[in-house]
């Protein structure tokens, strides 16, 4: 893997980490613990999408 790709991946992970932390703090200030329902629903949606995809594209 080249140095540029590694640097891009590291920057992407760091940006996502800080953006998620900031957004989480803002949502927690507005919604309290109900803010945790947002990432939980995103995970649920991704899990259902994965199951649907795997059912349609059987290996």
Query: pLDDT digits over 3-44, tens only?
Result: 676 777 788 899 999 999 999 999 999 999 999 999 999 999
Per-residue pLDDT, 6:
78
Question: Do residues 27 and 35 touch, judged by C-beta distance below 8 A?
Answer: yes
pTM: 0.68
Per-residue pLDDT, 3:
65
Count: domains in the chain: 1
Question: Residue holding tokens 């760091």?
Answer: 14
Range(s) of the domain holding residue 37: 3-56
* pLDDT(45) > 90: yes
Of the candidates 16, 8, 18, the residue with the CA atom closest to the CA atom of residue 42: 16
């Amino acid at each position: 893997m080249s140095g540029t790709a590694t640097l891009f991946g590291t920057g992407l992970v760091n940006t996502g980490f800080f953006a998620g932390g900031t957004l989480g703090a803002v949502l927690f200030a507005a919604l309290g613990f109900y803010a945790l329902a947002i990432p939980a629903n995103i995970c649920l949606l991704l899990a259902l999408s994965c199951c649907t995809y795997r059912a349609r594209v059987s290996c």
